Amino acid sequence: MWDPSTYLRYDDERSRPFHDLIARVGAERPRQVVDLGCGPGNQTATLARRWPDARIVGLDSSPEMIARAGRLGSPVTFEVADARSWRPGPDTDVVVANALLQWLPGHEELLRTWLRDLPPGAWIAVQVPGNFDAPSHRALREVAARPRWRDRVAPRLRADPVSSPAGYASVLTGAGCAVDAWETTYMHLLPAGDVHPVLAWMEGTALRPVRAVLGDGSDWAAFHTELGHALAAAYPVRSGRVQFPFRRIFFVARTGAATAAPAGSVPRGSDPHQPRQP
Ligand SMILES: C[S@@+](CC[C@H](N)C(=O)[O-])C[C@H]1O[C@@H](n2cnc3c(N)ncnc32)[C@H](O)[C@@H]1O
């Protein structure tokens, strides 16, 4: 289960990649914009300000997240839906998936499916965390492998589910898109608190499957404490803060554009209702 309040603890740090991603989308007059895995919807709401004439749809498989998004009072249509079975409509001109695809095994095939169904000139903008080899995830795997946890917790941890910028670029150029792919490491400076801030961060995302298997009782408390010690060693507090480097992978692609063309160019013969060159 996703808990919107826990997820929103680091809203500022989690929102920034979304804005950096959307800044690279050149659509001017999209008809429909779909935010897949929209979470609590606060970032989706900013899309309605960027494209006030578009129909903006936020989809998420978590009823808790969609309920929270519905309380924003924004003009966005929020609905519970599974991205794995979602398919673009003929008027879907922009698709956004920010911090979603790492939860969907085999998502490269899903991307190819969406790209086949999107109209020419549509934009797809994706960000995934590229930190599965970071000390935070290594600490999680190390604690999960201890005798007390290895049978229940270790099987719940995923192998690195994301590709590289080059890997995604190959998928997208192979589907005939113009591509802009990059990676960034953000240096988050998280304030120290009662709970180690990296542990508090992970509670909102990577630790969800662990909590789901351990429940809310003493096992979860013990695991939480052990991981907290491991994280405190990996991310020491200095001057009241913890340095938490976070690598993220981005790509923005435009369908039907020749691979040699820049992502902002208009594909030949495109429909005038499609987004135009920025
Ligand atoms: C890390 S959050 C990202 C939320 C938001 N996009 C953001 O950037 O803050 C991942 C979201 O993906 C949603 N999610 C996970 N699997 C999904 C699926 N199969 N279909 C739709 N949403 C899914 C979760 O419910 C969660 O809200």
What is the rounded distance in angstroms from the CA atom of residue 256 to the CA atom of residue 274?
12
What is the rounded distance in angstroms from the CA atom of residue 227 to the CA atom of residue 139?
7
Buried b or exposed e, range 234-265, using 16+ CB within 10 angstroms: bbeeeeeebebebebbbbbbbbbbeeeeebbb
The letter for the amino acid at 121 is G
165-222 pLDDT tens trace:
999 999 999 999 999 999 999 999 999 999 999 999 999 889 999 999 999 899 999 9
How far does the centroid of ligand 1 lie from the alpha carbon of residue 201, in Å? 16
Q: Which secondary-structure segment (H or E) carries 181?
A: strand 178-191
- Token readout for 166 is 């080059």
Pocket test for ligand 1, best of 60, 205, 207, 249 (most atoms within 8 A of CB): 60
- Token readout for 18 is 């979304």
How far does the centroid of ligand 1 lie from the alpha carbon of residue 261, in Å? 31
Q: Which secondary-structure segment (H or E) carries 149?
A: none
Q: Atom 27 in ligand 1: which residue has the minimum CA distance? A: 39
9-25 pLDDT tens trace:
898 999 999 999 999 99
What is the rounded distance in angstroms from the CA atom of residue 6 to the CA atom of residue 159?
24
| 84 CA: nearest ligand 1 atom | 19
| 62 CA: nearest ligand 1 atom | 25
Residues with C-beta less than 6 Å from any ligand 1 atom: 2, 14, 18, 37-39, 43, 60-62, 65, 82-84, 98-100, 103-104, 205
The ranges assigned to domains in the chain are: 4-254
- Token readout for 136 is 């935070």
CB hemisphere CA count around 245 (13 angstroms) = 10
103-113 pLDDT tens trace:
999 999 999 99
Tell me the Cα Rg of the chain.
20
How far does the centroid of ligand 1 lie from the alpha carbon of residue 147, in Å? 32
224-269 pLDDT tens trace:
999 999 999 999 999 999 999 999 999 999 999 754 444 444 443 3
How far does the centroid of ligand 1 lie from the alpha carbon of residue 244, in Å? 22
Contact between 13 and 191 (Cβ < 8 Å): no
Contact between 77 and 57 (Cβ < 8 Å): yes
Which residue has better confidence, 275 or 26? 26
What is the rounded distance in angstroms from the CA atom of residue 234 to the CA atom of residue 135?
6
What is the rounded distance in angstroms from the CA atom of residue 97 to the CA atom of residue 105?
14
The dotted CATH code for 4-254 is 3.40.50.150
